[in-house]
Amino acid sequence: MSGRRTLAVARKEILHIARDPRSLAMALAMPLGLLLLFGYAVSLDVDRIPTLVYDADRTPQSRELIEAFHGSRYFEFHGYADGYRPIEERIDSAEILMGLVIPPDYTRKLLAGQAADVQVLLDGSDSNTAGIALGYVNAVLAAHSLNVRAEAQRRKLGREIKPPAEAQLRVWYNSELKSRNYIVPGLIAVILMIIASLLTSLTIAREWEMGTMEQVLSTPLRPAEMALGKMAAYFLIGAADTVTAIVAGVWFFDVPLRGSVLLLAASCGVFLVGALFWGIFISAAARSQLLAYQAGVISSFLPAFLLSGFIYAIENMPRPIQAVTHLVPARYFIEIGRGIFLKGVGLETFGLELALLCVFAVVVFFAATRKLKRKVA
């Protein structure tokens, strides 16, 4: 294999990319656009839940309960209702997500030492959001119940009663529970797969459609040299996109980068090489730009978006789908990225994932070179 011929192919591809400034600008601007979209517009956080209150008791005790909800950052009050009808109408119109109903006998039961019921009406159209909101409600009610019980015992005994055990909660790695910190590291994998599916999956197919592949095949150029040369040209674009995504995530969205920058760069490089070779393999097999583009999107971008754990947790998927996710290289890269960004871990934690990415890159390289035969089929 000749390094000179490989560089010549890379130079040819770079000149071709430079002649199409609109495509180059789109490829370079795509990471920033996706980061802005997922960082600001798309959020998995469930807070500021629109809430309407129906207080049928109207006592100091019921107002204390309302204040417990009002003091939580997870609930946003939209006023008071005088019955069930306004709550139902505003839930139906999607103006609110939750209705809090305090029955007229709430204080009487509370002072009598009985179980004082509180009714919560939730819009279950989005089951995930409703489930998280219900968890917040239970947490607020549990904390308020403890305060009420402690206050009752203090009044009865004349002194403060401390609980025998008190839980001290500490959230590691993402203490503020921001979904942005979870999304941005995984978004790098999606960006790199987009580059592979939109750019390299068209490079060989374009040569076949334009009729220039016959000229290339008439030269002493070997398949491995062609694959490496074309990959190297688009590797520069992918590297620029990766740097843009990392810098924007750290500086614009305050995503912590606790691990090694060099290890992150090496992991990105290995994953990018494998993704680019996969695009070249598809392009060599399809010989049609339309077919290559469709195959690239279906086989690279969609699995990276849906089956890698980028947004949807793999643990919640059906067992057969979980088995399929082991064939998606983006899954391993996302685990590496989140480990470096949020946990600051190293090779001792994700060495196996990085090794699997290296195996993927090597296997796809040989598969691509085998497709690039020096003859016109």
What is the chain's Cα-based Rg? 29
Alpha-carbon span 54 to 103, nearest angstrom? 8
Strands 75-80 and 49-55: parallel
Regarding predicted confidence, which is higher, 218 or 310? Answer: 310
Domains and their CATH numbers in the chain: 3-43+178-371 (no CATH), 49-157 (3.40.1710.10)
What is the rounded average pLDDT for all residues in the chain? 82
Widest CA span of the chain, in angstroms?
98
Please state whether 287 falls in left (phi above 0), alpha (psi between -120 and 50) or beta: left
Mean pLDDT for 193-211 is 75
Q: Convert the pLDDT of each residue in 66-120 to its tens digit.
A: 998 888 888 988 889 988 999 999 999 888 999 999 999 888 888 777 788 889 9
pLDDT for 152 equals 67
Terminal-to-terminal C-alpha distance of the chain: 23
Q: Residue 62 corresponds to which amino acid?
A: S
Minimum mean pLDDT range among 59-68, 159-168, 245-254: 159-168
DSSP 227: H
Which tokens is 376 given? 């016109």
pLDDT for 376 equals 42
Alpha-carbon span 127 to 236, nearest angstrom? 43
